[in-house]
Amino acid sequence: MNSPITLTDVARQAGVSVATVSSVLNNTGRVSEGTRQRVLEVARDLGYVANLSARSLKGGRTGVLGMVVNDLASPVFAEIARGASMAARNVGLDLMLYTTSVTAQRERERVIGTVSSLCDGVLIVVSGDSDDYIRALEQPRFPAVLVNYLGETPLTTVGADNYWGARQATEHLAHLGHRRIGFITGASGSGQGPERLRGFLDALAAHGLPGGEDLIRTGDFSRPRGFAATCELLALPERPTAIFAANDESAFGAMDAAKDHGLRIPNDLSIVGFDDVPAAAVVHPALTTVRHPFLDIGATAVRLLQEAQQGGGASGRRVELMSELVVRHSTGPVGQEHQA
Amino acid sequence: MNSPITLTDVARQAGVSVATVSSVLNNTGRVSEGTRQRVLEVARDLGYVANLSARSLKGGRTGVLGMVVNDLASPVFAEIARGASMAARNVGLDLMLYTTSVTAQRERERVIGTVSSLCDGVLIVVSGDSDDYIRALEQPRFPAVLVNYLGETPLTTVGADNYWGARQATEHLAHLGHRRIGFITGASGSGQGPERLRGFLDALAAHGLPGGEDLIRTGDFSRPRGFAATCELLALPERPTAIFAANDESAFGAMDAAKDHGLRIPNDLSIVGFDDVPAAAVVHPALTTVRHPFLDIGATAVRLLQEAQQGGGASGRRVELMSELVVRHSTGPVGQEHQA
DNA sequence: CTGTTAGCGCCTTCAA
DNA sequence: TTGAAGGCGCTAACAG
């Protein structure tokens, strides 16, 4: 039974005091080079790993950032976590993920409390609206950064633009000659969807294109709903030549529906998504979409969290990254078939 | 600046000793009902949350399970984590995820060391082969369970069958009348791929079907390779009427390729995947695939971990769950076009 | 039934 | 340049 190596073990083995070992390991205080080398060597040989609990209890920095999420399965979340994880690693920090249900209030407070007793700071990634979730953090007891949160809050938040990305995507379609463009909305609860719709509508107006009710279909960010909404759109007397879906998942559903109707993409129907999840680049044809810079969002969140730690309280900044149109192969000029 | 509430705070506020509070909160020792209620009330009012570091340092159970993964982006991983997370919650435990790179040896030891100082036990989910990763855990210093690991190890492992699932899928195709069936392999490194291929080949032999080299194409579990491999298969002088891909991602690529060639699924080409990731149910047509019970795997891992904790050392069990064919709409009887 | 106390592993003065 | 000692929040053993 190999019990974990403690600082004391290293000290004993190296024939010095614990304080000396601590100094060496933390690069603090002046220790003679000889002692230094010996301690380092012993620590390595013994496979010493600092006990985080002890360090945290003592009140020092643990070098661990916490991340609280409520949906492990979403690729959007996964990308943000990946970005945060890489950024943390780059500055010598670890990232710890904690899952929690959106529903139970007590549960969330417990999770936040737990994480904050372990970590130097916490990143909160919540999908949809869960305002009271946030309320618990607002007492500036602990460095926290909110990711993709659109509500009112004094805390620091990071997100990315939705409006201009949607506008850009719609204009891309307009420049391609499309005049009837369908739109598949997101889930009504989320804050991201409406902004995307607004960008779409404004671009339409700017180009004098029709944006009637019949061209706007309710989706819920899911693939099956994207499929169904597209079928509705294609059943219209004057069917659209392009469809803009409020997220990639819906766009994948739209692609399925188009192929099902024997339509070629992009010849017969152009399709644009939103998010640029990894799958968007590998579907066939590759999806034209608006890149939400999730990796950057994660990395920025880590940076802001570090600033919040050093700066002390909640800085209350609101950072919005730019999203960007990525043109791939699911969009093209209006085909002859439909121009008549 | 609201500093966290400690046990002492609660004790002071309730007018009792810390030991009493501790007893109440842990349901240990006998405390009078009146005191009990008062303590509970004060704790709730103050929003007391136990400091995990202190509890862990003291040597007690923390109620947190660790999970070490090397790929946050894979849906396979996400499902396992989801299963483990739900199972943990059901027994009142939390799950903490720690990411680590597969490459750096020192790094991994550090992560394991860190996690083990915080958690009651650890779940290791490694994709591909990383044998020396495992070696570090083998000293039974700490309850650990390996997920989806196929190598030799004295540690407890949980996984799911690959061979019989592949056999079943192939037989499904054979019963549908397919005689020329293509296969897209997985990445050569992984241990899961070869077993799936073996199941495929044995089923072929059992039915007296051809399994020549030309029908077996090298994939790497990715969608683009699945696409390319399928194009090769479709270019064969005598093209297959069905394709079995070693994982769903490859199967999605195969579906893309088929549609690209103007083939209808399943009328002109049947396609089977492996894994049953969530996307498999929502692509169009819905993918027939072999369900690897990831949620169950995660849940079982949690259960075994608990047993390992209670039982003490590494029990060294090897649990293999059954995989199961899920017939959806991407497979059907051989079409007239190809029967001639 | 309830209070006092030691000590988990570490870091940080302070003293030598 | 190094050693000794205290205390972070908590639990468990022991007194009262």
Tens digit of pLDDT per residue, chain A (340 long)?
Answer: 457 889 989 998 899 989 899 989 888 877 888 888 889 899 988 888 888 899 998 887 899 999 998 888 889 999 999 999 999 989 989 999 998 766 666 777 788 888 888 899 999 987 655 566 666 666 556 788 999 988 888 889 999 999 999 999 999 999 999 999 999 999 887 678 999 999 999 999 999 998 888 999 999 999 999 999 999 999 999 999 999 999 999 999 999 999 999 999 999 999 999 999 999 999 999 999 999 999 999 999 999 999 888 775 556 889 999 999 999 999 999 975 544 3
| pLDDT value of position A329 | 97
Residue numbers 36-65 of B with CB closer than 7 A to any atom of strand D: 50-51, 54-55, 57-58, 60
Burial class (CB in 10 A: 0-12, 13-18, 19+), B106: exposed
Q: Is any atom of nucleic acid chain D found less than 7 Å from the CB of residue A16?
A: yes
* More confident position, B56 or A137: B56
The alpha-carbon gap from B152 to the nearest alpha carbon of chain A, in Å, equals 21
Chain A residues touching B117 at Cβ < 8 A: 4, 49, 51-54
Identify the bridge partners of residue A94 per DSSP, sorted by sequence position.
A64
Inform me whether the pLDDT recorded for B129 exceeds 60: no
Mean pLDDT computed over B186-204? 91
| pLDDT value of position A103 | 65
Query: How many angstroms separate the CA of B30 from the C1' of D6?
Result: 33
Does B57 sit within 8 Å of A51, measured CB to CB?
A: yes
Protein residue closest via CA to C1' of C8: B58
Structure tokens at B55: 């509890």
Chain B residues touching A253 at Cβ < 8 A: 282, 284
For chain A, the C-alpha Rg in angstroms (whole number) is: 26
SS3 content of chain A, % helix, strand, coil (to 5): 45, 15, 40
* More confident position, B79 or B339: B79
| pLDDT value of position B73 | 85
**How many beta carbons lie within 10 A of that of residue A139, not counting itself?**
11
* Nearest alpha-carbon partner for A180 in A16, A340, A15, A31: A340
| pLDDT value of position B199 | 97
Protein residue closest via CA to C1' of D12: B19
On whether the CB atoms of residues A181 and A240 are closer than 8 A, the answer is yes
Q: Is any atom of nucleic acid chain D found less than 7 Å from the CB of residue A30?
A: yes
* Range of A47-61, B65-79, B128-142, B236-250 with top mean pLDDT: B236-250
> Which CB contacts under 8 angstroms, 24+ apart, belong to A29-38?
A38/A14
Question: In chain A, where does the domain assigned CATH 1.10.260.40 lie?
Answer: 7-50
Mean pLDDT computed over B307-318? 74
On whether the CB atoms of residues A317 and A156 are closer than 8 A, the answer is yes
pLDDT band at B138; cut points 50, 70, 90: low
Nearest-nucleotide field for B51 (CA, C1') = D9
| pLDDT value of position B127 | 67
Q: How far apart are CA A100 and CA A124, in angstroms?
A: 11
Q: Is any atom of nucleic acid chain D found less than 7 Å from the CB of residue B7?
A: yes
Query: How many angstroms separate the CA of A6 from the C1' of D3?
Result: 18
Element (H, E) at A325: strand A324-326
Does A283 sit within 8 Å of B223, measured CB to CB?
A: yes
Q: What are the residues whose beta carbons fall under 8 Å from the beta carbon of A233, sequence distance 6 or more?
A: A182, A184, A215, A217, A239, A240, A243
Protein residue closest via CA to C1' of C6: B58
Which of A49, A57, A313 comes nearest B57 by C-beta?
A57
Inform me whether the pLDDT recorded for B28 exceeds 90: no
Q: How far apart are CA B139 and CA A208, in angstroms?
A: 71
Q: Is any atom of nucleic acid chain C found less than 7 Å from the CB of residue B29?
A: yes
* Nearest alpha-carbon partner for B82 in A97, A5, A43: A97
Q: Is any atom of nucleic acid chain D found less than 7 Å from the CB of residue A20?
A: yes
Protein residue closest via CA to C1' of D2: A20
How far is the CA of B221 from the CAs of A37, A118, B74, B186, B251, in angstroms?
A: 47, 37, 11, 5, 9
In a mutational test of the A interface, the residue from B72, B82, B115, B330 whose CB has the highest number of chain A CBs within 10 Å is: B72
Which of A52, A118, A256 comes nearest B284 by C-beta?
A256
In a mutational test of the B interface, the residue from A48, A49, A264, A302 whose CB has the highest number of chain B CBs within 10 Å is: A49
Query: How many angstroms separate the CA of A1 from the C1' of C1?
Result: 39
Protein residue closest via CA to C1' of D11: B58
| pLDDT value of position B339 | 41
| pLDDT value of position B188 | 80
Q: What are the residues whose beta carbons fall under 8 Å from the beta carbon of B93, sequence distance 6 or more?
A: B63, B64, B65, B120, B302
Question: Which single residue is written with the structure tokens 């994982």?
Answer: B247
Nucleotides of D under 7 A from a protein CB: 1-5, 7-13
**pTM of the shown model:** 0.90
Burial class (CB in 10 A: 0-12, 13-18, 19+), A65: buried
The alpha-carbon gap from A253 to the nearest alpha carbon of chain B, in Å, equals 7
CATH number for the segment(s) A162-292+325-338: 3.40.50.2300
CA B77 to chain CA mean position, Å:
5
On whether the CB atoms of residues B134 and B147 are closer than 8 A, the answer is no
Q: Is any atom of nucleic acid chain D found less than 7 Å from the CB of residue B26?
A: yes
**How many beta carbons lie within 10 A of that of residue A43, not counting itself?**
22
Burial pattern B299-319, b for ≥16 Cβ within 10 A else e, equals bbbbbbbbbbeeeeebeeeee
Helix ranges, chain B (H): 7-14, 18-26, 33-46, 52-58, 75-90, 105-118, 131-135, 163-175, 192-206, 223-234, 248-260, 278-282, 294-311, 336-339
Q: How far apart are CA B280 and CA B273, in angstroms?
A: 8
Mean pLDDT computed over B223-242? 97
Chain A residues touching B224 at Cβ < 8 A: 282
Does B75 sit within 8 Å of A81, measured CB to CB?
A: no
Question: Which single residue is written with the structure tokens 């802001």?
Answer: A304
Query: How many angstroms separate the CA of A109 from the C1' of C9?
Result: 28
How far is the CA of B72 from the CAs of A72, A78, A268, A281, in angstroms?
A: 9, 6, 37, 18
Average pLDDT, chain B: 89
Q: What are the residues whose beta carbons fall under 8 Å from the beta carbon of B152, sequence distance 6 or more?
A: none
A189 three-class SS: coil
| pLDDT value of position B135 | 64
In a mutational test of the A interface, the residue from B49, B112, B138, B139 whose CB has the highest number of chain A CBs within 10 Å is: B49
Chain A residues touching B257 at Cβ < 8 A: 284
Task: Assign domain B64-159+293-321 to its CATH architecture.
Answer: 3-Layer(aba) Sandwich (3.40)
Q: How far apart are CA A236 and CA A186, in angstroms?
A: 21
Crossing angle of helices B163-175/B192-206, nearest 10°?
Answer: 40
Does B98 sit within 8 Å of A111, measured CB to CB?
A: no
Q: What are the residues whose beta carbons fall under 8 Å from the beta carbon of B90, sequence distance 6 or more?
A: none
* Interface list for A 4-43 with B (CB within 8 A): 4
Structure tokens at A59: 């009140």
Torsion of CA B331, B332, B338, B339, to 10 degrees: 140
On whether the CB atoms of residues B65 and B284 are closer than 8 A, the answer is no
Question: In chain A, where does the domain assigned CATH 3.40.50.2300 lie?
Answer: 64-159+293-321, 162-292+325-338
* Interface list for B 306-325 with A (CB within 8 A): 313
Nearest-nucleotide field for B29 (CA, C1') = C1
Structure tokens at B114: 């860190």
* Nearest alpha-carbon partner for A265 in A246, A252, A249, A281: A252
* Residue count (chain B): 340
Task: Assign domain A7-50 to its CATH architecture.
Answer: Orthogonal Bundle (1.10)
Of the listed ranges A162-176, B19-33, B295-309, the least confidently predicted one is B19-33
Inform me whether the pLDDT recorded for B340 exceeds 70: no
Burial pattern B183-216, b for ≥16 Cβ within 10 A else e, equals bbbbbeebbbbbbbbebbbbbbeeeebebeeebb
Burial pattern A300-323, b for ≥16 Cβ within 10 A else e, equals bbbbbbbbbeeeeebeeeeeebeb
Amino acid making up residue B56: S
| pLDDT value of position B338 | 45
Q: What are the residues whose beta carbons fall under 8 Å from the beta carbon of A282, sequence distance 6 or more?
A: B222, B223, B224, B253
Q: How far apart are CA B314 and CA B246, in angstroms?
A: 32
Chain A residues touching B111 at Cβ < 8 A: 94
Burial class (CB in 10 A: 0-12, 13-18, 19+), A208: exposed
Residue B192, phi then psi, degrees to nearest 5: -75, -40
Query: How many angstroms separate the CA of A52 from the C1' of D9?
Result: 14
Q: How far apart are CA A149 and CA A155, in angstroms?
A: 10
Query: How many angstroms separate the CA of B20 from the C1' of D14?
Result: 14
Establish if B1 touches chain A: CB-CB under 8 angstroms: yes
Establish if B118 touches chain A: CB-CB under 8 angstroms: yes
